[in-house]
Amino acid sequence: MKSNEIDLEIGTICQDFIDVCPHCGAKTHLELVHNDHHISQGDQYNYLTFRCKPCKKLSVRVFRSSQNPYSQEQNLSPDKWIAKFPPLDAQPSKKFIEFVPKDIIDDYAEGLVCLANGASRAAVVMFRRAIQSAANEQGADREQKLSQQIKGLPTLTKDIKDWAHNIRIFGNWGAHPQDDKLSQVDEELAVEVKDFIEEFMNYVYVMPGKVSSVRKRHEKKKDDSGEGDEA
């Protein structure tokens, strides 16, 4: 296919485009308002701007069409969507921001941005960094492999530890970033590592933090009411 044929086909398909709006979170009709492309190393990248019907805000999606490497002339085949702007699920939830140390959240948040933009390997690197920083912050042996560090944390349940043991790449990671074995990483693994670190942070930081907050609130109420005063 030629560039103009790709433009026409994508434009036709996207006239009735249903997806989740990254702004309001509604799965709804996104109106196509602009479609342009550029060519890079033979492949065509279409940048499509959509307007959400409910919230009226704009978002951009990128579609790649691949050039046939054996053809001397332009011979494109529609390939796949490769990016969304702004990305979905690229911000940490408020509970993590409230209770998790900032350096760990910063790495986790960067991993979310990488994952949302299709950079699975970069996402796993940042998630790994966040997990290992959290393990170290909790007193884990810094010379152990990541899976061993997680296994040794008393704050985690057996189910969480078993999960870490079954995430295949954790067993290959040593205490140093150069042992990452990134050739094993795909999107499915990146999502699993994301899910794991979120449960990890729930157990290690969020639940203890919420319990502490409730306890302090009850203690303050007692102090304000004078219940703790001696007669």
How far apart CA 145 and CA 7 sit, in angstroms, is: 50
Task: Specify the length of the chain in residues.
Answer: 231
Instruction: Name the residue type at position 69.
Output: P
Mean pLDDT of 31-52: 96
3-class DSSP assignment, residue 73? coil
Residue 12 binned pLDDT confidence (cut-offs 50, 70, 90) = very high
> Residues 34, 60: contact at Cβ < 8 Å?
no
Q: Where are the domains of the chain?
A: 3-85, 94-221
How far apart CA 165 and CA 100 sit, in angstroms, is: 23
* 89 pLDDT above the threshold of 90: no
- Relative orientation angle of helices 187-201 and 102-116, to the nearest 10 degrees: 150
Q: What is the pLDDT of residue 108?
A: 93
- Percent of the chain residues topping a pLDDT of 90: 46
Q: Which residues contact 191 (CB under 8 A, 6 or more apart)?
A: 115
